Structure 1
Amino acid sequence: MPRPQPADLWAELNPRQQTYLTVIYNADQDAEANQKGGAFDWGHGPPASEWRWQTFSLKAPKEVVGRTAIQYALAQKDEHDQGAGSSLAALRRRLLIEVMEDYVQTILGMIPRVRVKLTTLGRATARAGLGHTAPKSPPRGLLSEWLWSNLVRLYRAGPAGMPTDSPRGTPTEERAPSEKARFFLERDQRRPGGPLVETKCVRNGEPRESPMYPGHMIYPTEYRVYLTAAGQAHYEQHVRCYAELWPDIDAPVPEELPEDAHSSLDDHKVRKPRGLLARAPFQLLVALVRNDLDDKLWIRKEWPAYWKNFGSEPPEALMALPAGITTNHVHRITRSSTAAAKLLGFRSGPLAAETEIYQWLYPPGRRYWSDGSQVWPEDLKVLHVTDAGRTHYAANLEAYRTTYDDIEAPDAPDAWKLPPSAS
């Protein structure tokens, strides 16, 4: 049976259901815009599986708790609460939304709450009905449309670069990248080739004698931003990819391009060989391998100090925990809620295992906050690599490096490699 097309699904909905789907879609897009707008969030934001959940209603008097954003938007379209359950159920049956009921703390205490989340199919259906197109997402390693336009201006400026400060009224195409743009282009040290731009203080004009200190010369200076060698290489290697991705930006194509320059976006398609992990699980495996090689476990380093401050030696069982990563830190590495499960349930055998951290190993004096809640999760465990994980890593390391060339994976010890007769 062919899969129903989003436009057909939209046509099957009655006007009330279309209104509900539109309002939920708008709330979903607002949440996505808020996540993308947090440009200076120094940490990692929550995964989409969390922030896409939107509060639909609170089961309490509106005179006390008010309306949710979705309820207010529905009221603006002359849709009220009567029949909301049947409309949500209709959207849920068609797999356009997910619905969840839980509890939330309010001034009335804990009250029931209804939350909704748009599915991928629901998002496509809303876009088909509203005439919206899905936003383009550049492949991993490429810049957003905004950052690319900044890089193009610097490329046009050539070796002289551009002054960081421009007079009032200077056209946008003649302005240097803003401080916010330079933050991403210059200070992002995670890029393998290094920063794409750099800012320098350079002399500007002829020196003159200081009026306060005769004999001392004053050299006028200004700050200018330049394209680095890494920025030049990035531009030349991907200019044809960007022309396909952002055609409205007029980026000059050099007459001579490097031999390894990409010809189109097809060069960015990652073709994962059969039997290898996806990106997020591999990132987690690399982190486990690195800690395994360094015999590193955060709580083995930090918790003994709390025990000693309490007048006791740390338990031997704590110091005997395997090297790895505590489960509460896994999300910070991959921002994936399924990466650990992929390692634990790998089809040819678990590549990682979990070791429980018993409550009596938790550091005394640091088990509870002042409000009585626990500092550490009750189900805290250590995720660590298994022998099968070490063998898999060593046997497939080169293939992984080719597939995910932006992930820095440490070399595998010879002891992890199977002899030729066993491979």
Structure 2
Amino acid sequence: MRMVMDAWMRTRPDDPSPVLASKRSHAPSKTAMATWNSLNERQQVYLGEIMRDDRMTETEMWMRRVQRLPVPRAVEWRRLPLALKAAPAVVGYTRLQERLRRRGVHDPGAGQTVHALQRRGLLIITEDSVEHPAVGEVGRVLVQLSRRGRAAAHAGLDEPREPDPPTHLLSEWLWGVLARVAAAEPAGLKDDQLAGRSLFFIGVGYRNKAGGQPSRGLVDSVPVMASEGTHVAEYRWRLTQLGRRHVVEYLDIYREVYPSVPTTGIDALAADST
């Protein structure tokens, strides 16, 4: 499938890319179920309500796209506000706190619970500050499900595991490499800043093993001439035509699937292609 999709995009630059079909959802894994069962009741409530709030936020973002409204990056909106560092009597409760209160779980012990989930690798906790009309600038605690936490919540709530990324997409590791090259366009990434096994999967002229399939050919080492044009001054890694189209076509999907991979500066590629 990867070879066919790449060939299509390479030879039909003016045609729309085929729609990617996701793999079917799978039943919860035994590991995810064991992780859920290892949590106490309070931790299970927290993890379940955080997942439900995450899903509601995801629906809201989808509705904004349908209405052609601005949508922040997934790495931003998946950080869900848990609490404001001020008296609730003054600043009120966050939507997530309201969810928990409806389940009979109130604020005392919230910090211990979410940090216990973070130590297990199920949550990511961050902090920032926002302007509140009643108190001005106030600190805020945000929580984000890790992939392991999401799988455990799906298992515990008897829901199917989320489908795997489409076959045509790169792994999180390879997407991170490709995103670095894309962010360095148009100058390119210095030759010594890209090395290792990734080239055997995305570099032009490489194979991942003897007799194996050729790499995807998404990046290439390009000579950069000296200012007087007499010799090659250096080599830089740049996106191939296929690599550029791959990034432009699937940037939004990659951001959804791998929200932790930095993609700052890549949006200019999409703007240049329109």
Class of the TM-score when normalised by the shorter of the 2 chains? 0.5 to 0.7
- Pairwise CA distance, 1:89: 1.5
Secondary structure of 2:237's partner?
helix
Cα pair distance change 1:76/1:99, threshold 3 Å = same
Query: In the alignment, which residue of structure 2 is the partner of 1:118?
Result: 145
- Pairwise CA distance, 1:281: 3.6
Q: Which runs of 5+ in 1 are unaligned?
A: 140-267, 293-323, 325-339, 349-384, 409-423
Cα pair distance change 1:271/1:53, threshold 3 Å = closer
Match for residue 107 of structure 2 among 68, 81, 87: 81
1:127 aligns with 2:154: yes
Query: In the alignment, which residue of structure 1 is the partner of 2:117?
Result: 91
CA RMSD of aligned residues (A): 3.8
> In the alignment, residue 98 of structure 2 is paired with which amino acid?
Y
Whether contact under 8 Å (2:194, 2:237) holds in the other structure is no
Secondary structure of 1:18's partner?
helix
Residue deviations 1:249-273 (CA, integer Å, cap 9, x gap): xxxxxxxxxxxxxxxxxxx54679x
1:13 aligns with 2:39: yes
Query: In the alignment, which residue of structure 1 is the partner of 2:237?
Result: 392
Q: Which runs of 5+ in 2 are unaligned?
A: 1-29, 197-221, 225-232, 249-274
The number of residues matched between the two structures is 184
Secondary structure of 1:39's partner?
helix
> In the alignment, residue 19 of structure 1 is paired with which amino acid?
V
Distance in 2 (CA, whole Å) between partners of 1:277 and 1:118 is 20
Secondary structure of 2:34's partner?
helix
Whether contact under 8 Å (1:92, 1:99) holds in the other structure is yes
Query: In the alignment, which residue of structure 1 is the partner of 2:204?
Result: none
Whether contact under 8 Å (2:181, 2:237) holds in the other structure is no
Residue deviations 1:304-326 (CA, integer Å, cap 9, x gap): xxxxxxxxxxxxxxxxxxxx9xx
Whether contact under 8 Å (1:35, 1:45) holds in the other structure is yes
Query: In the alignment, which residue of structure 2 is the partner of 1:108?
Result: 135
Q: How does 1:229-378 map to 2 (within 5 A)?
A: 268-269=167-168, 278-285=177-184, 288-289=185-186, 345-347=193-195
Cα pair distance change 1:39/1:276, threshold 3 Å = closer
- Pairwise CA distance, 1:59: 2.0
Whether contact under 8 Å (1:279, 1:404) holds in the other structure is no
Cα pair distance change 1:407/1:90, threshold 3 Å = closer
- Pairwise CA distance, 1:43: 7.3
Query: In the alignment, which residue of structure 2 is the partner of 1:378?
Result: none
Distance in 1 (CA, whole Å) between partners of 2:234 and 2:70 is 27
Q: What's the % identity of the aligned pairs?
A: 31
Query: In the alignment, which residue of structure 2 is the partner of 1:55?
Result: 81
TM-score, normalised with respect to structure 1: 0.37
> In the alignment, residue 85 of structure 1 is paired with which amino acid?
G
Query: In the alignment, which residue of structure 1 is the partner of 2:72?
Result: 46
Query: In the alignment, which residue of structure 1 is the partner of 2:219?
Result: none
Secondary structure of 2:65's partner?
coil
Distance in 1 (CA, whole Å) between partners of 2:83 and 2:176 is 40
Distance in 2 (CA, whole Å) between partners of 1:386 and 1:64 is 62
Secondary structure of 2:154's partner?
helix
Distance in 2 (CA, whole Å) between partners of 1:282 and 1:73 is 42
Distance in 1 (CA, whole Å) between partners of 2:53 and 2:118 is 17
Whether contact under 8 Å (1:103, 1:110) holds in the other structure is yes
Cα pair distance change 1:279/1:134, threshold 3 Å = farther
- Pairwise CA distance, 1:386: 9.4
- Pairwise CA distance, 1:40: 3.8
> In the alignment, residue 392 of structure 1 is paired with which amino acid?
W
Whether contact under 8 Å (1:281, 1:343) holds in the other structure is no
TM-score, normalised with respect to structure 2: 0.55
- Pairwise CA distance, 1:96: 0.5
